[in-house]
Structure 1
Amino acid sequence: MTSPAPTTPDARARIDLRRYAWLSIVVAILTIVLKTSAWAMTDSVGLLSDAAESTVNLVAAVVALIALTVAARPATERFLYGRAKAEYFSAALEGLMIFVAAAVIMVTAVERFINPRPLENLGVGLLIVVIASLLNGGVALVLLRVGRTHNSITLRADGKHLMTDVVTSAGILLGVGLVALTGWERLDAVVAFAVGVNIIITGIGLLRESLSGLLDKALPDEDHEIITEVLRRRTDATLTFHGLQTREAGQQKFMNVHVLVPDEWTVKQGHDYIEGLEDELRGCLPDLTVLTHLEPISDPASYEDIPAQHVPIHGDDHDPTRPPEESP
């Protein structure tokens, strides 16, 4: 027996997330203006690399807005489970754009190391970058918090990218400041190159997270613990569970499990029990879609269709291929 067709989470929650993408777009435009001004004043390749990364931030924020808009659309006859995975494409594209920005920064840094130039107006230029970094840092914290709360990989990716930008700016401020103190102009290029390497590391992390989501990654361990705790509490000598599998798609969470009930139960009894089980599970994990398969507990065939890879529900002393024994 299967539960009714899956439904997507409250669409309003996902539509509301678009306001944070707009916030990211506005801040990206402001920081581009500020950092470009700082670069024009100082002629620092480090500040130029910082401005280039902010341009990538703007493109990423626009892509995030598009992804959140697509993910918020309701299910249709063609997309029966909705379009929540659109968020993973956004995160993957953002990771790729980070690589492009890093390549531009590193090439520019090498050229400037070979042909160093004196820096000018460092005081005002660095002050402008500090202001831009504070803006980015504040928005990054907001995006990371909201992304974790609503399980949005798009906002988490954008937040991580902005936080990387803050770290980048801090490194560049340090490098340019040391140039002013030491007079070694090539240090500006060295710092810019190091920033490019750091950006690549961030991009690899974003790509890994987005690709694992596209490949139906299982739910986090803390979600598994919540689910298995409910199933263990409902297990006794006459009723048990096995074959638990989970996956996530953007903000949506899915699980399927085999429910083994007394042989003499009617279809109505089994259906009523599953309805209560699903309500309890969704009460613990609101965005969870529950798929169940009802089987008679004493039928040997019920133990022959357990998936090769599944989440353990009971302790090590429990054999999922056999019915539970009566307690003494």
Structure 2
Amino acid sequence: MGKHQAALLSIFSNSILIIFKLIAGIFMGSISVISEALHSGIDLLASIIAFFSIREASKVPDDEHPFGHGKYENVSGFVEAILIFLAAILIIFEAVKKILHGATIENTGAGILVMLVATLANFIISMLLLKIAKKTDSIALEADGMHLLTDVFTSMGVLVGLVLVRFTGLKIIDPIAALLVAILIIKTSIDMTKKSIVDLVDSKLPEEEVNRIVDIISTYPQVKTYHKLRTRKSGQRREVDIHLKLDDSTSLTEAHSLCNAVEQDIKALFPECYVLIHIEPYNNLNYSEV
């Protein structure tokens, strides 16, 4: 299954879960179940954003976007994180209102069944999305998978709350469970915001990946040293810019062949990678380092 099909699957599953959660929540008068329906509604919107961002990011480079469209995925992850945060604020507002003015809840059995089905469905689909996201290095699909994985834990929290209400009769447990759901959602939102911003502001690749690039360069004895190594990530595409210093006696043909070899080795390590190599003479002390 490709990225586009996975995103469509997420849209379909969220749509079905919204309907069941909303019907059950209204029927029961449960703020925690309704908050879960709202959470799934935000996830549906996020899934739609992820689908279109993945489609845009897959487009080939053009005159206006010579480095490709990969940043669309990073923007998508950031927008999704903000949407999740807004959902958590709405849930907190409704839960506090229920605590202050009293909570009413009926027919907990229906809610328990719906939340159990939602938990299982979200777990299966989130694992599938995260697997494909890792395989394709898609931050938009990863964000979507994390949304659904958050749903798994929040649904479990609501499920436990409904079970406690059923056996204890303490209806205030329902809005308290909703507050716990909101806290988990906020944490997910913060984590996702940090992850998406890292690439949006062109931070360098993780140290482990940079070291692997340096290891590749070190395998070539013709390279005396290197400097100005710059890296960043755009969607699933990595970009590497480096200056290599070769002995003055190296011919243009030899330097060209060396650059091709280094570039191919880096692309073998990171298939979606743009590599720019600048060659400098090693022994020319008058050569500008700027």
Tell me if TM exceeds 0.5.
yes
8 Å contact from structure 1 (residues 41, 125) kept in 2: no
* Residue type of the alignment partner of 2:240: M
Match of 2:173 among 167, 187, 202: 187
Equivalents in 1 of 2:131, 2:221: separation in Å? Answer: 36
Q: Name the residue aligned to 2:133.
A: 147
Give the superposition deviation at 1:99. 1.3
Does 2:213 align with 1:227? Answer: yes
Q: Which residue of 2 aligns with 1:265?
A: 250
Superposed, which structure 2 residues align to 1:295-306 within 5 Å? 295-302=280-287, 304-305=289-290
**1:252 corresponds to which of 218, 234, 237:** 237
Is the contact between residue 242 and residue 258 of structure 1 (CA under 8 Å) also seen in structure 2?
yes
- Aligned mates of 1:232, 1:156 — CA distance in 2: 33
Higher mean displacement: 238-247 or 200-209: 238-247
1:84-103 equivalences in 2 (<5 Å): 84-103=70-89
Q: Residue 283 of structure 1 corresponds to which residue in structure 2?
A: 268
Report the Cα distance in structure 1 between the residues aligned to 2:274 and 2:61, rounded to whole angstroms. Answer: 14
Once residues 118 and 25 of structure 1 are traced to their aligned partners in structure 2, the CA distance between those partners, rounded to angstroms, is 32
Code of the aligned partner of 2:237: Q
Q: Structure 1 residue 122: deviation in Å?
A: 0.9
| SS, match of residue 55 in structure 1 | helix
Corresponding position of 1:114: 100
Of 123-132 and 103-112, the range deviating more from structure 2: 123-132
| Amino acid aligned to 1:67 | S
Structure 2 SS opposite 1:234: coil
In structure 1, C-alpha distance between the alignment counterparts of 2:286 and 2:67, rounded to whole Å:
30
Instruction: Give the conservation status (yes or no) of the 8 Å contact 1:21–1:61.
Output: yes
SS in 1 for 2:36: helix
Q: How does 1:121-200 map to 2 (within 5 A)?
A: 121-200=107-186
* Moved >3 Å (runs of 4+): none
2 CA distance for matches of 1:301 and 1:291?
Answer: 23
Q: CA RMSD in A?
A: 1.6
> Which residue of the partner structure matches residue 38 of structure 1?
24
CA contact 2:130–2:146 (8 Å) conserved in 1: yes
Q: What are the equivalent positions in structure 2 for 1:202-241 lying under 5 Å apart?
A: 202-235=188-221, 239-241=224-226
Per-residue Cα deviation, 1:38-88 (whole angstroms, up to 9, x for no partner): 212321111011110000011000001110111111111111011100001
Q: Which amino acid aligns with 2:263?
A: E
Does the Cα contact within 8 Å between 2:111 and 2:162 map onto a contact in 1? no
The answer to whether the Cα contact below 8 Å between 2:242 and 2:277 also exists between their aligned partners in 1 is yes
Residue identity in the other structure for 1:207: T
Equivalent residue runs for 1:41-80 within 5 Å: 41-80=27-66
Aligned amino acid, residue 285 of structure 2: P
The Cα of 1:301 is off from its aligned counterpart by: 4.2
- Check the 8 A contact 1:116/1:186 in 2, yes or no: yes
Does the CA contact (< 8 Å) of 1:234 and 1:240 recur in 2?
no
| Counterpart Cα distance in 1 of 2:44 and 2:17 | 9
Aligned position for 1:83: 69
Contact 1:258 1:295 in 2 (8 A): yes
Deviation at 1:298, TM superposition (A): 0.3
Segments of 5+ residues of structure 2 without an aligned counterpart are: none
Counterpart check, 1:25 vs 2:11: yes
Contact 1:235 1:241 in 2 (8 A): no
Contact 2:103 2:174 in 1 (8 A): no
Q: Percent identity?
A: 31
Q: Which amino acid is 1:21 matched to?
A: A
- Gap change, CA 1:285 and 1:178, over 3 Å in 2: same
The secondary structure found in structure 1 opposite 2:276 is strand
Q: Does the 8 Å CA contact 1:105/1:192 hold for their aligned counterparts?
A: yes
Q: Is the 8 A contact 1:239 1:262 kept in 2?
A: yes
**Counterpart-to-counterpart distance in 2, 1:186 and 1:303:** 71
SS of residue in 1 equivalent to 2:105: coil
Pick the structure with more helix per residue. Answer: 2
